[in-house]
Amino acid sequence: MVTLPMFFGIVLKRSAKSVPHEERLDAFRKTLPEEMRNDRSLFDQDDGLVAWSAGMSMQDVAIDIQRLTAAGLVEGEDFAVTAKLGRTGGKLPEWLAYDNERRMLALAVAM
């Protein structure tokens, strides 16, 4: 399970297509101060998902959405956009489950 990203975020389903984006996130994360690197509401991952806070508005998130879709990933199939307080930016994909009490996301088969 991963922590719901703070503010507007993205949850990426891990796959061969997601590897370049995971590497980019890891490189960016290493540039941040230690307290931010370890903040699970900013970056979190497990065996099936990678979640990160992409910004404070949908305009901020649009940059990451553009990168992901340009690389052939499909919103709703490969990644989901989240919003503050456990709401999703659209319909929750079948592969993603949300535990409102713990504010955690998981692959639906894992819950």
What mean pLDDT do residues 38-59 have? Answer: 89
Residue 91 DSSP symbol: S
pLDDT at 88 over 60: no
d(Cα 6, Cα 92) in Å, to the nearest integer? 17
d(Cα 1, Cα 63) in Å, to the nearest integer? 25
Number of domains in the chain: 1
Comparing 13 with 87, the larger pLDDT belongs to: 13
Strand partners for 25: none
Residue 44: domain span: 2-110
Annotate 3-35 with DSSP letters as a single string.
EPPSSEEEEEE-SGGGHHHHHHHHHHHTTS-HH
* CA end-to-end distance (rounded Å), the chain: 8
Amino acid 68: pLDDT: 93
pLDDT at 89 over 70: no
